[in-house]
Structure formats: structure tokens, C-alpha cells
Chains A and B, each alone.
Chain A
């Protein structure tokens, strides 16, 4: 088979890349290692989903034959399966994480692109500025908001970002959580804004509005009102007739000619048979761990440690988000059962916190499933079982509220995704070996933000609040990023400012791997915007 472009991965970045290329007249093949699962197959199983992986989950990496090796903080290594701690999985299905995500649609803040020059570089970290800034990305954020579909409050958001155009949809109506938090923020003099969401608050682009079902993050949408790759850009790519999507197709290596020029992708079908698709351009969009694995598993004589890896950068700076949070017991019920739950945020502590580097957006929580509430939301002094535990659940399930947010991680070059030398997956491909942690400086920021979260809950009426300190750990499951960072210096980065792998004119990365830092906010809209920008440029230069 021969196509113009192969896109590896059908998630947030791959879907956008496929659409832009197919709409520009290119023949595109999308290889997706996950299955094309139905809403019913994903289901509403409270014990098997990407939010609560108490057992092997129903949408994602197959349990058997796709392990990883995880090296913990103490240096102990173990083999981990997809739902086990340490695997650091992203949902693996057509649409990737966008099928199941909470769909928070944040733009990164202008300061998020300039962490090193704003704060200095903590010793031992690889904190760096992006080679591009907010203004470079703003038109593509706007395009993502309109082409994929975001609801939000343009006026409130305009206090934090220069914005040329409103959101295509108004925010969802606020519920009890937001009402309480608005009062608390007013008492504290804090600015708040509705959380923008890639969810139809009203019918949009031919699909219905949100039914407020409460099974949002971790699940597929029963109303098809959650906007992801699968129901927007991928669908548009396929509608051109020039794109083809192959589920259960595992990219094994990027193929090169003897001179080291990329010529296509070798992939494995569900029966284990190998195929090679030849292409003018190869776009890696498999997520920060799998993209790094694919490049590393594609050595040539010119690049013996994998494509783009002559300076030992591929797979380093692996990061995600450390979460800072607090829980508060409110005097009145704040759980109104109306999904998605997350509704009101403050950005007052995303930057410019005295004495710490960076910060985080803080917001309320998605509707908490009862088993998750039992596992994570109970006060630390409450017995874990017995009558007191049952009484607390009964009296306070609707009163306990979490405020928290993604702390911008200070990257470490020692947080890595490598190929394991011994373990191979079911198709004989070396598996990812994950090691390292975020930089310790991240924990100081998280502690500061947890204090802000408690203050907000107290000001909102909480009778008592509690939190737990964040631990030094790797956070590279959801929000995984950083392994092919963008930069002008090829000795310290993997791709250029257009997502093109240094030293190659036809090999691109269009996923969160290219993030130099991962923002004080959820990253998916940035992945989409970067993919629009890179793919548009690729087509213009073709």
C-alpha cells in the first residue's frame, strides 16, 4: 500500500492531523492500535473504566500481551498490566482519550509557554521555554474551539487570554457546587470563570446537547454530545473519501531507506501479520509514551538509538500533572447529580505564587461515582469500614466536595520512556520501560495550591477540609507529555517549532510529546491546536 501520509494514533492530535491532510487532498492512512468500540461495549461499569481501574478496564489497552516495565522511586522494577498502578495508560481505542475524557478545553496561559524565563531553572530540572508563544497558537486554539466544539464564557475567559472570537456555545448552567464556590471566591476576592468544555451545551454541528448524565469522565457519551476526534475531525477526514482508518493496527517501526530517509511504517494487524505502508510523510500521534517507543524502535545506521534520538532526547522529560487538591465537608448538599460536575475554576494561582514555581488552575470535581467517593473522598480519620463508615457515606456523599487542579510539573530529564531490553509485547515488539519522577520542586507548588484549595472550600462554607501531600512520583498516564520536546536547538529537543523531527523533512510528531512543559491546565486543547498548526503548515509546504 502507498499513501501520502500515515498517521499513527487516532486521538486528539492524530484526528486533527488526519482531517487537515485529507481535506487538503492528501491520501491518509490512520493506524490505531485500539479497537473501534461501541458505546455499549464501553458501558457504565463503575469498576472497569479509565477513571477507576479497579479491574481490567473495558476500553483500552488489551490486558494480555501489552505490559510495560515500571521502575518506581526506589528503583524497583516490575512488569505492569494495563490497569495496574505504574502502567501510565492512556485510553487505547478509536478516538483515543477524547472518547472518554472529561473534555476540559483550556488554552495554555501565555506564561505557561515561558516557564524558564519566568521562574528560572531549578537545579536538576530540564525546565525550558517553548520556542513558540501563546500568540502563535491562539488562531489554532480558536479553530479547535469551533471545529471540535467548545462551550464556555468568552467574557470571563477574556480576562485571562487575548481571544479574537467567542466560543461557539455558551457554558452549561451552573449547579450547586459552582454556586457555593462563587460565594467563596467573592468573599476572598478571587476571580472565577466557567470551565470551558469540549461538550455541546446546546445542539452543535448536527449533534445533540449534553443530557447532564453524570457518567462523563471515564465513559463514552450516551448523547454523543461530548466532542472528540471520533465524532468530529476523524469523521470529517473519512468523509473526504481520502482517509482510511485501520483499528487494531499496531505501528511497529518507522521505515527508512538506506540513506535514513523516512519511507513509511511497518505495522502489525490483529492476526500478527506484518505489513508495510509506504508514505511521503509519517506523523506520530500515539501519545507521549507510545510515540517515544515507536521512534526508539526505529533505529537506522544513521540514528542507531532511534529516529530523532542522536542527542538522547527521545523519551526524556516525561511528565503529566501532579494534582493538588482538598476536600471539604459542606453544611448543605452540593451534589446535585448534574453532570459533568466540573464547572467553576479560578486561575488566580496558576502563576505568580510567592516562593514557588508555577501553579495550577483550581476547579470543582466531576460527578463522583459512589465507589470512587468511598475510595478517595472520605476524611482521613474515618474508619475505612464498619457502621461509622456507612453512616458517613449516607450523610455526606452529597456534601463533600473536592477542589483541585493540575500542577504544572517541573520536568526532569531522568523521567523517561525507554525500550525495555528484555520484555516484548504479544507481537514481539520491545515494551516501554518507564522510570523517574517529576522534579521535587513540583511538590512545593502542589503543597501551596492545596492550601489555596482549602482556603476556597472554607470560604465557601466548608465545616472542615482535608488534603494529603503529593508524593514524588511519575505522572504520565492521562496528560502524558514531553518525550519529544519542541525546540530550536536539536541537541536539546526532538522536533522543531512545526512538529518536524530534527534532521528529517518528512517525519512529524503531533501529540503531547512535543510539549516542552505541560501547562497549569488540562492539555488536550493545546494538543489539538498544535496539530492544526503543524498539519496546516505541512500542507502549505507540501
Chain B
């Protein structure tokens, strides 16, 4: 779990990660180790973004409560996706501390790094996404 986020923020992040890369016949983002990737990044190159993440995750949760009456992590997948798409489009119903669309695209970029990046960065467990798309590594 990502270090130094609150329990509620971590739960929201987990739900966001599996919304950005949902599980199907192949693992979703969480199972593929994206949270582990992010936790490592928050101690490294993304250390400066931890507060940004925390505030953005709180704002997504507040959106969920305003629109659906429940926290983001408690929504069913279809509603999570709809809500995240609305926020990405700038269609927000609660005050945001910064540009909501930029926050979503930033998080999406990092989730994809954790999913499709090299396992050496802590995500893409056992190169699961590479096997999915059939990217093979040679020496």
C-alpha cells in the first residue's frame, strides 16, 4: 500500500487503480502490483507529489459522496468508471483544490507506468502485462 496516504486515501487509490486497469481474463492494476510501484515512487521520484495525490484522492472521494452518496471505494465498477470519466472531463460537483482533469490524467499516467513499465520499477509483477500483450525480452 502506498506509504503516507491515509487509510481512506489508500482505499480510494486502490479502487482508482483497478478502474484505470480493470481485471478481466488478465490481472487488473492492483493484482499486477501498481500499488507497490506507486509506493516505491512516492519514496523516490514522485515524493513531491504525495500531498497532491492525497488531496486529489480526497476530492475524488468527495465527488463520489456528492454524486452517489458513498465513498469511491464502495461504488460498483460501473459507477467508479462513470465518476472518474466525469472528473476527467472537468464535470465536477464539489470544490477541487486544483485542476481535476489534470489530476486524473496524471494518475492514469502513473498507473500505466506501474502496469506496463519494467518489473524492475516495482510494478508489472512477473511481467504480467508484457505477457498479456506478448512483449518478449531478450538479452
4 A-B pairs with least C-beta separation: A397-B133, A370-B116, A46-B118, A55-B45
Chain B stretch 98-139: residues in CB contact (< 8 A) with chain A = 105, 108-109, 111-113, 116-118, 120-121, 129-130, 132-139
Q: Would you call B10 an interface residue if the criterion is a C-beta within 8 Å of the partner chain's C-beta atoms?
A: no
Q: Would you call A385 an interface residue if the criterion is a C-beta within 8 Å of the partner chain's C-beta atoms?
A: yes
When distances are taken between beta carbons in the complex, the residues of chain A under 8 Å from B26 are: 390, 394
Contact of A387 with B111 in the complex, beta carbons under 8 Å: no
Q: A45-B121, A47-B121 are in contact. Are A385 and B135 (CB under 8 A)?
A: no
- In the assembled complex, the Cα of A55 lies from the Cα of B134 at a distance in Å of 25
Interface Cβ pair total, 8 Å cutoff: 82
Chain A interface SS verdict (over half): loop
Q: Would you call A211 an interface residue if the criterion is a C-beta within 8 Å of the partner chain's C-beta atoms?
A: yes
Residue on B with the closest CB to A213? Answer: B138
When distances are taken between beta carbons in the complex, the residues of chain A under 8 Å from B121 are: 45-47
When distances are taken between beta carbons in the complex, the residues of chain A under 8 Å from B1 are: none
Contact of A398 with B133 in the complex, beta carbons under 8 Å: yes
- In the assembled complex, the Cα of A46 lies from the Cα of B132 at a distance in Å of 17
Task: List residues of B whose CB falls within 8 A of some A CB.
Answer: 19-22, 24, 26, 45, 81, 105, 108-109, 111-113, 116-118, 120-121, 129-130, 132-139
Q: Would you call A161 an interface residue if the criterion is a C-beta within 8 Å of the partner chain's C-beta atoms?
A: no
When distances are taken between beta carbons in the complex, the residues of chain B under 8 Å from A393 are: 116, 129, 132-133
Chain A stretch 31-89: residues in CB contact (< 8 A) with chain B = 43-47, 54-56
When distances are taken between beta carbons in the complex, the residues of chain A under 8 Å from B111 are: 385
When distances are taken between beta carbons in the complex, the residues of chain A under 8 Å from B105 are: 384
* Contact pattern, A 365-379, Cβ under 8 Å of B = 1, otherwise 0: 000011101110000
- In the assembled complex, the Cα of A43 lies from the Cα of B121 at a distance in Å of 12
Contact of B113 with A385 in the complex, beta carbons under 8 Å: no
- In the assembled complex, the Cα of A213 lies from the Cα of B138 at a distance in Å of 5
- In the assembled complex, the Cα of A370 lies from the Cα of B121 at a distance in Å of 14
- In the assembled complex, the Cα of A375 lies from the Cα of B117 at a distance in Å of 11
Known: A337-B136, A339-B138; 6 extra A-B contacts, CB below 8 A, are: A46-B121, A335-B134, A370-B133, A371-B113, A385-B111, A397-B133
- In the assembled complex, the Cα of A55 lies from the Cα of B44 at a distance in Å of 10
Q: Would you call A214 an interface residue if the criterion is a C-beta within 8 Å of the partner chain's C-beta atoms?
A: yes
Q: Would you call A428 an interface residue if the criterion is a C-beta within 8 Å of the partner chain's C-beta atoms?
A: no
Residue on B with the closest CB to A383? Answer: B85
* Contact pattern, A 189-212, Cβ under 8 Å of B = 1, otherwise 0: 000000000000000000000011
Contact of B139 with A394 in the complex, beta carbons under 8 Å: no
Contact of B139 with A370 in the complex, beta carbons under 8 Å: no
- In the assembled complex, the Cα of A213 lies from the Cα of B26 at a distance in Å of 26
Contact of B129 with A370 in the complex, beta carbons under 8 Å: yes
Min CB gap B66→A, angstroms: 22
Residue on B with the closest CB to A397? Answer: B133
Task: List residues of A whose CB falls within 8 A of some B CB.
Answer: 43-47, 54-56, 211-215, 222, 335, 337, 339, 369-371, 373-375, 384-387, 390-391, 393-394, 397-398
When distances are taken between beta carbons in the complex, the residues of chain A under 8 Å from B112 are: 371, 374-375, 385
Selected contact of B134 from candidates A54, A369, A398, CB within 8 Å: A398
Min CB gap B13→A, angstroms: 14
What are 10 A-B pairs with beta-carbon distances under 8 A?
A: A46-B116, A47-B121, A56-B45, A215-B137, A370-B135, A373-B133, A385-B20, A390-B24, A393-B116, A394-B26
Contact of A385 with B108 in the complex, beta carbons under 8 Å: yes
Contact of B129 with A337 in the complex, beta carbons under 8 Å: no
Q: A45-B121, A371-B117, A385-B112 are in contact. Are A214 and B138 (CB under 8 A)?
A: yes
- In the assembled complex, the Cα of A43 lies from the Cα of B117 at a distance in Å of 14
Contact of B139 with A211 in the complex, beta carbons under 8 Å: yes
Contact of B120 with A44 in the complex, beta carbons under 8 Å: yes
Min CB gap B21→A, angstroms: 6
Most chain A CB within 10 A, of B21, B117, B129, is at: B117
- In the assembled complex, the Cα of A232 lies from the Cα of B139 at a distance in Å of 22
Contact of A385 with B45 in the complex, beta carbons under 8 Å: no
Min CB gap B1→A, angstroms: 21
Contact of B20 with A222 in the complex, beta carbons under 8 Å: no
Min CB gap B121→A, angstroms: 6
Contact of A222 with B19 in the complex, beta carbons under 8 Å: no
When distances are taken between beta carbons in the complex, the residues of chain B under 8 Å from A375 are: 109, 112
Contact of A386 with B22 in the complex, beta carbons under 8 Å: yes
Contact of A386 with B138 in the complex, beta carbons under 8 Å: no
Selected contact of B139 from candidates A45, A222, A397, CB within 8 Å: A222
Min CB gap A321→B, angstroms: 26
- In the assembled complex, the Cα of A374 lies from the Cα of B20 at a distance in Å of 13
Contact of B109 with A54 in the complex, beta carbons under 8 Å: yes
- In the assembled complex, the Cα of A397 lies from the Cα of B113 at a distance in Å of 16
When distances are taken between beta carbons in the complex, the residues of chain A under 8 Å from B130 are: 370
- In the assembled complex, the Cα of A43 lies from the Cα of B105 at a distance in Å of 28
Selected contact of A46 from candidates B45, B117, B134, B139, CB within 8 Å: B117
- In the assembled complex, the Cα of A44 lies from the Cα of B21 at a distance in Å of 24
Min CB gap B45→A, angstroms: 4
Q: A46-B121, A371-B112, A371-B113 are in contact. Are A386 and B19 (CB under 8 A)?
A: yes
Contact of A213 with B139 in the complex, beta carbons under 8 Å: yes
When distances are taken between beta carbons in the complex, the residues of chain A under 8 Å from B21 are: 385, 390
- In the assembled complex, the Cα of A56 lies from the Cα of B45 at a distance in Å of 8
When distances are taken between beta carbons in the complex, the residues of chain B under 8 Å from A337 are: 135-136, 138
Selected contact of B113 from candidates A47, A213, A339, CB within 8 Å: A47
Contact of B139 with A386 in the complex, beta carbons under 8 Å: no
When distances are taken between beta carbons in the complex, the residues of chain B under 8 Å from A398 are: 133-134
Min CB gap B100→A, angstroms: 15
Residue on A with the closest CB to B119? Answer: A46
When distances are taken between beta carbons in the complex, the residues of chain A under 8 Å from B129 are: 370, 393
